[in-house]
Chain A
Amino acid sequence: MGIRFILMVNKQGQTRLAQYYEWLTLEERRALEGEIVRKCLARTEQQCSFVEHRNYKIVYRRYASLFFLVGVDNDENELAILEFIHLLVETMDRHFGNVCELDIMFHLEKAHFMLEEMVMNGCVVETSKSNILAPIQLMDKTS
């Protein structure tokens, strides 16, 4: 499994989206998110975007008030994950138009949907923005 989880956390440390590709209990999730938030949010711009945590790595990137954190296996390509995060943000940007924290809060389901189009079983399966958005747009139209 390449990607283990994807988190979106605002700068106050509140989780805005959490997608796990392996089963964790609520308690495990709470502990994990707490640890990660403590570890990553304190880092400065001058520090690199990779943090070793437990037995895997966290690759993160900050966009405005929102942190995108991706937990990956140790042999995963960090730069590719950064590109993946950027792709995710661009995709949401295209869909919501200037995406912000509120968009993700109010459209959590859609955000999950996009992620499901992009990642399966922790593997990135789709990297084209229009392919990712096609089903969502279709659903928007019909509903």
Chain B
Amino acid sequence: MASPSLMDTLFQRTLDDIIKGLRHQQAGESAFISKVVEEIRREIKSTDLHTKSIALQKLTYLNSIYFIDMSWAAFHAIECISSPNFSHKKVGYLAISMSFNESTSVILLITNQLRKDLKSNNEFEVSLALDCLSRIGTADLCRDLTPEVFTLLSSSKVFVRKKAIGVVLRVFGKYPDAVRVCFKRLVECLDGTDPQIVSAVVGVFCELASKDPRSYLPLAPEFYRILVDSRNNWVLIKVLKIFAKLAPLEPRLAKRVVEPICEHMRRTGAKSLMFECIRTVVTSFTDYESAVKLSVAKIRDFLVDDDPNLKYLGLHALSIIAPNHLWAVLENKEVVIKSLSDDDPNVKLESLRLVVAMVSESNVVEICRVLVNYSLKSDPEFCNEILGSILSKCCQNVYEIIVDFDWYVSLLGEMSRIPHCQKGEEIENQLIDIGMRVKDVRPELVRVGRDLLIDPALLGNSFLHRILSAAAWVCGEYVEFSRKPVELVEALLQPRTSLLPPSIRTVYIQSAFKILIFCLHSYLLQRENIADDMASEMLGLKSQGECSGSSALVAGKAPARQEQDEGFNPRDSNKSYEDLSIINEGDVSALLEKGFTHESIVNLLNLIELALGPLSGSPDVEVQERSKNVLGFVDLIKQEISNGFVSERASKIIDMVHDAFTEELGPVSVNAQEKVPIPDGLMLKESLADLDAICGNVQLPSSISFSMGSPFGESVGASVSIPQSKEESEPSSESTSLLAEHRKRHGLYYLPSEKNETLANDYPPANDPKSSDNTNDDAQDLVKLADKSLLPKRRSNHAKPRPVVVKLDEGDVVPFIAKKSDTRDDLLSDAVRDILLGNVAKTASSQSIISDKSSSKRKGKEKLNVDLPESREILGVEKPDLGNPSSRRSKHRSHGKEKSRKSPEKKNSDEIGDGEKEKQKSRHRHGRHKTKQRAEGPLNVAAQTPVIPDFLL
């Protein structure tokens, strides 16, 4: 089709035309674009490369700015790069770098063209190909083109060599075996005098070292030289980053490097370099006091600077150093606290972190008070940040810093009422957790729960539903501490509970049931006592033991007492209500025994019946079932106590249910289930797929919980770290009373509260932010407070001793899931270590090494064992370790410990004498990596020594 092509060429719109056209389109932009894309689709098929490349150029433009798909043009892009014309090539390469990825099917078609361009004499063509490879290189491309890249690494043109170095990072990442070919040349570039080359190669090493620093320890001398000699801030920053990674691995290296870093800090005027020095010191050199002091002084300069960037970075640096040197934060507390009311949310966040870091047992009450006041005035987002950090700080290590739990529980209640509060889940968990762990706080907990439950306004806020659910559970579980259980039932059954999601309504119903049982039981006890009194009055003797034991007697005498009850009741209730107002929290039980009359019980039963009646037709099965249960029970009891007479059957039932509910619930270790032996014949591993087939056509809403046995369930189970088997093996009778515990551990079983919709709320908001105070006052307060309470003095004596907090021996610690690095990284670091530590001599003949790589590795390991005793003797604790990255990593963590244990031995070895041991030490310093190299024989050791000059010693 020559003629349309010619027409296209003549009248083809250029990219500039398109851009101009787009600028003039106000509304119909997308119509214009689709028209242009249509044109492009036609033009790009042209045999004329010029037309094609312009079409491709336009498409690339639309792709990068207007998100137009261009994957369909992949083949045309490949055609363009094979053009001899540089400008076509340029367009093609740009299109390829923008649009190709691992899944592009035609990507391998460019291998040959890339190879051709990499070998080209035109350095710009080489550069295009290198840029392209660095953006889209896949494992296959990188493997195929490694020889070309290797050649270019020693190109005489700096322009090309620099880019080849840049590409190496991608090649290593995709095809680790390339290390065996290219690494030596890369290391040589470090020695180069050309600043461009050094800058590029340091950047590459910085990236490599950030993934696996240990492998690059042997190159420390090169980096040290650059650190001392270079005056290029870009390079220095990268080198500092490398040392921040290397120093923690090798204390002697840190000792050597810390002084030059301080020197840079004193000398430099560049803030970026200064900040990098500061960050390096506060992350990796926290043991060097003078360096830390110097950087804290520099941080202070940042903090008082007007530039918000510097202020932010200063705060950021403080928060890095806070765990090790809290004094640095305390020294700057005024600035930190003032920043809490900064304009910038980032600055506010950083300073919040620092304020929270300052919290300790002695000042937690004051700081939390001020923070809560702050949160009332903050925007919703920051408000929740504040609440979140209070919550997470306070529950650290099983509420380590909390002494006064009554205070903390009422703080939780107060936080729930903050208008912006969205931390429902966290507060819910903590309320229940504290209830189970801390016995002494339960009365206060019930009081807080009651206050939350009786407030109808709170029901309108869907963020609070989970808190309300916890409050309902607490009130039901610990109802014996409540002053007015009936009031609780009223609160739990108020009409506005219809705003709750079904999952939480079930908790409400269950709690109401528990309270009802409690009331009935108290009523029974009370009757018994009265009967006792009556009996003793009548008989004129006090024989408690006899009467309390004889329930038959009580039951038998009940009708006789009926008339007298009437006489008792008014007096009785009057007395109890007087008591209510003055009575202490301490003798609740005394009060409760008097609180119920036959009438009040009947009223209670009627109330429950009235409120739950409509729910027995609820579409939610849980709600329906529970309310039906309760209604059935109420029905039964009502019949049994119809005219003030409590039948024996009823009292027995009540006693039984009451006994079931009074069972104490304790916190359960996350690992508890693992300790339970699996009963014989219980197949946990067996797939429940059959079950699906059986239940296939019965779509129960509750089927979600059954599907837990499926593979999907397994992944969820792993995160909760309780085996799913718990569900099946748990006795069903327990499950109701374990509801809240269950809810806590298995949040996923319950419907999440609907967060997006806010229900119409006729009630005034629960809490209006106090507008009278202003933030500055608070800042002042906090500064004053900090002055007071941040002083090292401890509070002389607490008002009351810290209550017992139940802790589990293990399982309170969230299981740490070790992060596994992917195999590619391992391959890469293995390869690097091989090159640096052993096979240097062999790199040239890469092929052979790659082929018998595995065997040589094995050999290395065998020989390692032979060498092992020697190196261990001198290094004390450090064990050589090869290959296994996870063991290496775990060693990092324990490094500090090792050091301290090591120190006496180290002294010894230092005394042994420098001269003769020097060589040996230089080897052992990197014993872990060099074992392999030593395994190669003494010849190699000699070759290796120059890499690690004396400065390390």
Contact = CB atoms under 8 A, between A and B. Distances in A.
**B and A form one assembly:** yes
Given A105-B19, A123-B203, A123-B207, A77 B67 contact: no
Interface string B334-353: 00000000011111000000
Interface string A1-28: 1100000000000111110010100100
Prevailing SS type, chain B contact patch:
helix
A48 interface: yes
B102 interface: yes
B19 A106 contact: yes
Contact of A135 (B159, B203, B234): B159
Contacts of B312: 48, 50
Interface in A94-130: 105-106, 108-109, 112, 116, 120-128
Interface in A33-55: 43-44, 46-52
A124 B65 contact: no
B146 interface: no
A135 B127 contact: yes
B234 A124 contact: yes
A127 B65 contact: no
A135 B86 CA distance: 13
Nearest to A78: B313
Contact of A17 (B64, B233, B279): B64
B309 A80 contact: no
Interface residues of B, number: 57
B162 to A, nearest CB: 6
B271 A121 contact: no
Nearest to B207: A123
Contacts of B385: none
Contacts of A14: 65
A124 B203 contact: yes
A44 to B, nearest CB: 7
B131 A44 contact: no
Nearest to A73: B210
Contacts, number: 131
B499 interface: no
Given A79-B271, A123-B206, A126-B162, A50 B346 contact: yes
Interface residues of A, number: 50
A143 B85 CA distance: 11
B633 interface: no
Contacts of A116: 131
Interface in B101-160: 101-102, 124, 127, 131, 134-135, 159
B69 interface: yes
Interface string B148-184: 0000000000010011011101100000000000000
A66 interface: no
A115 to B, nearest CB: 10
B632 to A, nearest CB: 53
Nearest to A131: B196
A89 interface: no
Nearest to B279: A77
A138 B87 CA distance: 13
A56 to B, nearest CB: 14
A77 B276 contact: yes
A21 B196 CA distance: 21
Contact of B346 (A48, A80, A83, A124): A48
A77 B63 CA distance: 31
B344 A21 contact: no
Contact of B344 (A48, A82, A126, A138): A48
A30 B64 CA distance: 10
Given A21-B135, A48-B311, A127 B346 contact: no
Nearest to B163: A120
A69 to B, nearest CB: 15
Nearest to A23: B101
A24 B203 CA distance: 24
B399 interface: no
B139 to A, nearest CB: 14
A23 B101 CA distance: 7
B134 A2 contact: no
A79 B275 contact: yes
B200 interface: yes
Interface string B57-82: 10001011101010000000000000
B272 interface: yes
A116 B165 CA distance: 14
Given A18-B64, A77-B237, A139-B124, A121 B309 contact: no
Contacts of A21: 135
Nearest to B71: A26
Contacts of A143: 87
Contacts of B162: 125-126
B90 interface: yes
A120 B237 contact: no
B398 interface: no
Given A75-B210, A79-B272, A123-B169, A109 B64 contact: no
B204 interface: yes
Contact of B343 (A47, A78, A79, A138): A47
A109 B166 contact: no
A47 B308 contact: yes
Contacts of B91: 109
B630 to A, nearest CB: 48
Given A26-B67, A80-B234, A139-B124, A109 B57 contact: yes
A52 B344 CA distance: 12
Given A47-B346, A77-B272, A135-B124, A18 B65 contact: yes
B97 to A, nearest CB: 8
A48 B347 CA distance: 8
A21 B170 CA distance: 11
Contacts of B757: none
B67 A1 contact: no
A121 B196 contact: no
B620 to A, nearest CB: 36
A36 to B, nearest CB: 14
A30 B68 CA distance: 11
B277 to A, nearest CB: 10
A142 B122 CA distance: 13
A12 to B, nearest CB: 13
A49 B196 CA distance: 29
Contacts of B63: 26
Contacts of A126: 162, 196, 199-200
B588 interface: no
A52 B348 CA distance: 13
B541 to A, nearest CB: 79
Interface string B281-296: 0000000000000000
A50 B313 CA distance: 9
A29 B127 CA distance: 27
Contacts of A135: 124, 127, 159
Given A26-B67, A121-B134, A127-B199, A50 B309 contact: yes
Given A43-B344, A79-B271, A124-B234, 14 more contacts: A14-B65, A17-B64, A26-B69, A48-B344, A52-B346, A77-B241, A77-B276, A82-B309, A105-B19, A108-B65, A120-B200, A123-B169, A125-B165, A135-B124
22 contacts: A2-B203, A2-B207, A18-B65, A21-B135, A26-B69, A29-B67, A46-B343, A47-B347, A50-B312, A50-B346, A77-B237, A80-B233, A106-B16, A108-B64, A108-B65, A121-B170, A123-B200, A123-B206, A126-B199, A127-B199, A138-B124, A139-B86
Interface of B: 16, 19, 57, 61, 63-65, 67, 69, 86-87, 90-91, 94, 101-102, 124, 127, 131, 134-135, 159, 162-163, 165-167, 169-170, 196, 199-200, 203-204, 206-207, 210, 232-234, 237, 241, 271-272, 275-276, 279, 308-309, 311-313, 343-347
Interface of A: 1-2, 14-18, 21, 23, 26, 29-30, 43-44, 46-52, 75, 77-80, 82-83, 105-106, 108-109, 112, 116, 120-128, 131, 134-135, 138-139, 142-143
Which 8 pairs across A and B sit closest by C-beta, in order of nearness? A120-B166, A79-B272, A123-B203, A47-B344, A48-B308, A48-B312, A23-B101, A80-B272
